[in-house]
């Protein structure tokens, strides 16, 4: 099936009631046929619902539908995008290990990997996403994952998948891509050689800022990279917390299965059934919405590029942008609805944000309503001055999440604010 059809139908087999809309299975637990049935489910002799912290029929549709759009091999929903990133890391790394992360990532990812993860005994090593060759010198036998964003937030850089994947494959390391900004409509990292994709479903997936959630998706046949790989010994050895289960011996998506059976079981950052239902509604219109987001963002980027008060515009759809060639290679259909631009000072940037009417000062992206943000004082405020520079966030940077309003109205709003 084609993408638009998958977005509407994938993953849903109607129940006995024949409902056209996916039902909300708002339940904590499920009745077993008998004690043997319950035992078989817990021993994985049968597959089925056990408890909503682990799985839920509504969430199952969300996972299958997103997995189909990303062309993956398995998926697991989480309570937030940050939970998805944390689970991807915690699923492979432990005390004494290290991870490699792009400097140009969302502020929450920077604080997670640069500060919180340290308390787990995991070291983070950073590379410039525009210089992927830097990764080579950071790798050692304890490196467990390479994490980056397909389109970075808010510097709006484009990752060179081919270069990063080549280094990861050379050293047999798992790659993880945050594909939130590009969405599976404009980029499918798993088809480009990457191993894991994470999303904040709170953004373009819902499309209206309705719910917090995330998802982790693995590529088909990831077992081939993990089985027998000394970097991931815990996938190849008996898990004593689950009856000696050896994940690499299972004919199932092993990466997301371990998140479900170990991390969701023990940490519990699970999406609610109602939120999963909201994501399903959003996915139905995602291909159509992304076309409008991207089209409007390009028009606005061209307008800003010619404004005398604007020093620089970051949008890979502009021919003048340093990421244009990579964008045409990896995102030929469109470059999403996120852009940023730079003015002289922090004070000027904040004054512009405060002067808009249609663009609202909000720390979110991917909404149907247009959003304006000053990252240095909000989403990336926790970063030091040097970390801000490394992340491509000067004090005068303004981020725009272009919504679905009329493009001319949005340009007039910015024109008024810029003065």
Decide if 57 is inside a domain.
Answer: yes
What CATH number is attached to the domain comprising 389?
3.90.1150.10
Same domain for 197 and 95, yes or no, is yes
Same domain for 269 and 321, yes or no, is no
Same domain for 252 and 197, yes or no, is yes
Decide if 280 is inside a domain.
Answer: no
Decide if 401 is inside a domain.
Answer: yes
The pLDDT value recorded for residue 310 is: 98
Q: Which stretches within 71-160 are classed as H helix?
A: 81-90, 107-114, 135-138
Q: How is residue 186 annotated by DSSP?
A: H
Last residue of a domain, one of 250, 274, 298: 274
What CATH number is attached to the domain comprising 66?
3.40.640.10
Q: Return the SS3 of 120.
A: helix
CA dihedral 216, 220, 225, 226 (to 10 degrees): 50
The pLDDT value recorded for residue 380 is: 78
Q: Which helix or strand (DSSP H or E) is residue 338 part of?
A: strand 338-342
Last residue of a domain, one of 223, 249, 274: 274
Tell me phi and psi for residue 18, to 5 degrees: 70, 25
User: How crowded is the C-beta side of 343, counted as CA atoms within 13 Å?
Assistant: 19
Same domain for 202 and 66, yes or no, is yes
Q: How is residue 230 annotated by DSSP?
A: G
The pLDDT value recorded for residue 391 is: 78
Same domain for 202 and 57, yes or no, is yes
Contacts of 251 (CB under 8 A, 6+ apart): none
Tell me phi and psi for residue 163, to 5 degrees: -70, -40
Same domain for 37 and 177, yes or no, is yes
Decide if 17 is inside a domain.
Answer: no
Same domain for 95 and 201, yes or no, is yes
User: In angstroms, what is the C-alpha Rg of the chain?
Assistant: 22
Going residue by residue through the chain, which has 419 residues, state the pLDDT in tens, using 9 for 90 and above. Answer: 999 999 999 999 998 889 999 999 999 999 999 999 999 999 888 989 999 999 999 999 999 999 999 999 999 999 999 999 999 999 999 999 999 999 999 989 999 999 999 999 999 999 999 999 999 999 999 999 999 999 999 999 999 999 999 999 999 999 999 999 999 999 999 999 999 999 999 999 999 999 999 999 999 999 999 999 999 999 999 999 988 999 999 888 999 999 999 999 999 999 999 999 999 999 999 999 999 999 999 999 999 999 999 999 999 999 999 999 999 999 999 999 999 999 999 999 999 999 999 999 999 999 999 999 999 888 777 777 788 777 788 999 999 999 999 999 999 999 999 99
CA nearest neighbour of 247 among 264, 217, 222: 222
Decide if 8 is inside a domain.
Answer: no
Same domain for 261 and 375, yes or no, is no
Decide if 213 is inside a domain.
Answer: yes
| Calpha distance 388→380 (Å, rounded) | 7
Distances (CA, A) of 409 to 318, 370, 401, 403, 416: 21, 11, 15, 11, 11
The pLDDT value recorded for residue 269 is: 97
What b/e string do you get for 183-222 counting C-beta neighbours within 10 Å, with b at 16 or more? bbbbbbbbebebbbbbbbbbbbbbbebbbbbbbbbbbeeb
Domain that holds residue 64: 25-274
| Calpha distance 130→322 (Å, rounded) | 10
Same domain for 134 and 269, yes or no, is yes
Same domain for 294 and 270, yes or no, is no
Distance between first and last Cα of the chain: 49
Domains identified in the chain, total number: 2
Last residue of a domain, one of 241, 274, 307: 274
Same domain for 85 and 229, yes or no, is yes
Q: What secondary structure does DSSP assign to 15-51, as a single string?
A: -TT--SSPP----SB---SSHHHHHHHHTTSS----B
Sort 294 into a burial class: Cβ within 10 Å, 0-12 / 13-18 / 19+: buried
Q: How is residue 259 annotated by DSSP?
A: I
| Rounded (to 5) percent helix, strand, coil in the chain | 45, 15, 40
| Calpha distance 77→417 (Å, rounded) | 40
Q: Which residues does residue 92 pair with via DSSP β-bridges, in sequence order?
A: none
CA nearest neighbour of 69 among 186, 178, 158: 186
The pLDDT value recorded for residue 384 is: 77
The pLDDT value recorded for residue 385 is: 79
Decide if 7 is inside a domain.
Answer: no
Decide if 306 is inside a domain.
Answer: yes
Q: Return the SS3 of 71.
A: coil
The pLDDT value recorded for residue 64 is: 98
Q: Retrieve residue 139's tokens.
A: 């790798």
Check whether the bond before 154 is cis (ω within 30° of 0).
yes
Same domain for 265 and 297, yes or no, is no
């Amino acid at each position: 099936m084609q993408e638009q059809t998958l977005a509407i139908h994938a993953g849903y087999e109607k129940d006995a009631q024949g409902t056209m809309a996916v039902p909300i299975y708002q339940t904590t637990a499920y009745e077993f046929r008998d004690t043997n049935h319950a035992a078989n489910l817990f021993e994985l002799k049968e597959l089925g619902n056990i408890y909503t912290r682990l799985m839920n029929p509504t969430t199952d549709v969300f996972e299958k539908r997103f997995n189909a759009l990303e062309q993956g091999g398995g998926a697991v929903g989480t309570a937030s995008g940050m939970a998805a990133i944390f689970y991807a890391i915690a699923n492979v790394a432990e005390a004494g290990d290290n991870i490699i992360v792009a400097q140009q990532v969302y502020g929450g990812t920077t604080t997670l990997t640069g500060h919180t993860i340290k308390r787990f005994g995991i070291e983070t090593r950073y590379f410039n996403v525009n210089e992927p060759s830097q990764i080579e010198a950071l790798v050692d036998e304890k490196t467990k994952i390479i994490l980056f964003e397909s389109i970075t937030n808010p510097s709006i850089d484009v990752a060179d998948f081919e270069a990063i994947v080549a280094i990861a494959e050379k050293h047999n390391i798992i790659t993880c891509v945050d594909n939130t900004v590009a969405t599976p409509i404009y980029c499918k990292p798993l088809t480009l050689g990457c191993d894991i994709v994470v999303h904040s479903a709170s953004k373009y997936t819902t499309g209206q800022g309705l719910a917090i959630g995330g998802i982790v998706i693995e590529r088909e046949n990831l077992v081939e990279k993990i089985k027998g790989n000394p970097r991931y010994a815990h996938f190849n050895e008996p898990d004593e917390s689950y009856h000696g289960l050896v994940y690499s011996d299972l004919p199932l998506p092993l990466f997301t299965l371990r998140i479900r059976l170990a991390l969701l079981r023990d940490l519990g950052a699970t999406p609610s059934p109602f939120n999963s239902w909201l994501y399903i509604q959003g996915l139905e219109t995602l291909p159509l919405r992304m076309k409008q987001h991207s089209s409007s963002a390009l028009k606005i980027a061209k307008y800003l590029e010619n404004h005398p008060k604007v020093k620089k515009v970051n949008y890979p759809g502009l021919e003048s942008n340093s990421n244009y060639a990579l964008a045409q290679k990896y995102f030929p259909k469109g470059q999403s609805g996120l852009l940023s631009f730079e003015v002289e000072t922090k004070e000027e940037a904040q004054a512009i944000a405060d002067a808009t009417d249609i663009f609202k000062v909000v720390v979110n992206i991917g909404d149907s309503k247009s959003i304006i943000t000053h990252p240095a004082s909000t989403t990336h405020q926790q970063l030091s001055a040097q970390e801000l520079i490394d992340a491509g966030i000067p004090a005068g940077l303004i981020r725009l999440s272009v919504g679905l309003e009329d493009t001319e109205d949005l340009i007039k709003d910015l024109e008024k604010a810029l003065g």
